[in-house]
């Protein structure tokens, strides 16, 4: 494990010692022996698919060769992060067959909001999941109880794992985009305090069961989603040079700023915890706005979709689906080179884009406050 050079300045040594009181020393390749994740489709590794089997090909085509519970052609940032820490992929908590939770559990499910949804999950294809953040936290508490009651179960971790784990949270997209669609920027502003408070409360509850290191990811630039552009009424002039909806992106940035401030307040309350605000928004916005600078050919255009044009997205035909439109059966199919696309399906990202996001997380380039994973883990190559 890499450590500060022995001749480093006293201040650097003091900082290292202070951090060491927060994160346990590693007895192997990494001080973090598990990942517990909470969120929506951006980090769902199969929870929604376990509860509501619904993910068809070509999802999973690039890495797994078959649908693997992820809305992308391959791996998600959470998968790359696990690989970098030398851990296996994080199994979905809702997946009863084949899951091994010795190195953590994933409570995220696609379409999960922060707040309790007020509509049936079966209302439409874009309705929120019933597994909102409070439910996920309660599932985590129940998981901990089961671990402590059955400490020798073959697929459960050592009860000490909860203080040796990395806790990751990536949620809020569904709350913000639905509120923006119904009430505009003012609606998003109205629910900001409640959303950020719920996320902070989740951190506090996880802290109470042993968590000490938290990566809280901010929201993606949803104004660049092909789905947002197709499904949300907006003025044609309300787009930037990349084709992204400016008003929605501005609302997201305001929310992210509020989240950052709330986490700073939480940090003051939990002084012996690492609460890291992870800015992946700026990384993804850069990919959308300047795709060719990063090896991509397409920004907002979906690889898997139907309709062609600048977005290749039809609001009635999602990736992998077929539907009759104007008397003709059409299908949303995948491109042959998803590695050249930032957008996989008009909502989610390609594996290639996800890897770039993960690279920035592993490098710690967009953390507030700074946090160096290399001090606690022998980072494994990801590719």
Within 10 A of 165 (CB to CB), how many other CB atoms are there?
24
C-alpha torsion 52→53→57→62, nearest 10: 80
- Asked whether 311 and 283 are in contact (CB, 8 A), the reply is no
CA distances from 126 to 46, 129, 182, 371 (A): 17, 9, 14, 36
Q: Please name the helix (run of DSSP H) or strand (run of DSSP E) that holds residue 217, with its range, or none.
A: strand 213-217
- Asked whether 175 and 117 are in contact (CB, 8 A), the reply is no
Pairing of strands 298-302, 34-39: unpaired
Give the contacts of 29 (CB within 8 A, at least 6 positions apart).
1, 86, 377, 378, 380
Q: Three-class SS of residue 37?
A: strand
| Residue 381: Cβ-neighbour burial (10 angstroms; 0-12, 13-18, 19+) | exposed
Positions marked catalytic? 41, 345, 348
194-218: b (≥16 Cβ within 10 Å) or e: ebbebbbebbeebbebebbbbbbbb
Q: What tokens appear for 149 in the block? A: 């009651």
């Amino acid at each position: 494990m890499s450590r500060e050079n022995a001749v480093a300045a006293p201040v650097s040594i003091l900082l290292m010692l202070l951090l060491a009181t927060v994160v346990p020393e590693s007895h192997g390749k990494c001080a973090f022996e598990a990942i517990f994740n909470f969120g929506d489709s951006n980090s769902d590794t199969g929870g929604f698919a376990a509860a509501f089997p619904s993910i068809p090909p070509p999802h999973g085509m690039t890495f797994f060769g078959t649908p693997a519970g992820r809305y992308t052609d391959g791996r998600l940032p959470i998968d790359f992060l696990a690989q970098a820490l030398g851990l296996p992929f994080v199994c979905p908590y809702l997946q009863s067959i084949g899951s091994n939770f010795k190195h953590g559990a994933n409570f995220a499910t696609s379409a999960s909001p922060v707040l309790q949804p007020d509509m049936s999950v079966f209302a439409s294809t874009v309705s929120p999941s019933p597994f909102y953040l409070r439910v996920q936290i309660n599932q985590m508490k129940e998981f901990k109880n089961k671990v402590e009651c059955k400490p020798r179960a073959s697929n459960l971790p050592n009860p000490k794992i909860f203080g040796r784990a990395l806790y990751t949270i990536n949620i809020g997209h569904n709350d913000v985009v639905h509120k923006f669609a119904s009430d505009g920027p003012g609606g998003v502003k109205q629910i900001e305090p409640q959303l950020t408070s719920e996320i902070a409360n989740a951190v506090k509850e996880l802290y109470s069961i042993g968590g000490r290191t938290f990566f809280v990811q901010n929201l993606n630039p949803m104004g660049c989603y092909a789905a947002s552009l197709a499904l949300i009424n907006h003025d044609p002039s309300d787009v930037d040079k990349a084709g992204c909806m400016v008003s929605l992106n501005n609302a997201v940035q305001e929310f992210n700023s509020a989240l950052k401030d709330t986490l700073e307040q939480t940090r003051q309350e939990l002084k012996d915890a690492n609460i890291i605000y992870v800015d992946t928004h700026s990384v993804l916005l850069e990919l959308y706005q300047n795709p060719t600078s990063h090896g991509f050919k397409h920004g907002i255009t979906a690889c898997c979709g139907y309709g062609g044009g600048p977005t290749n997205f039809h609001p009635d035909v999602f990736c992998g689906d077929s539907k009759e439109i104007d008397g003709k059966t059409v299908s949303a199919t995948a491109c042959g080179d998803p590695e050249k696309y930032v957008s996989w399906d008009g909502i989610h990202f390609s594996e290639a884009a996800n890897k770039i996001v993960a690279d920035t997380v592993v490098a710690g380039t967009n953390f507030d406050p700074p946090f160096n994973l290399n001090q606690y883990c022998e980072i494994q190559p990801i590719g």
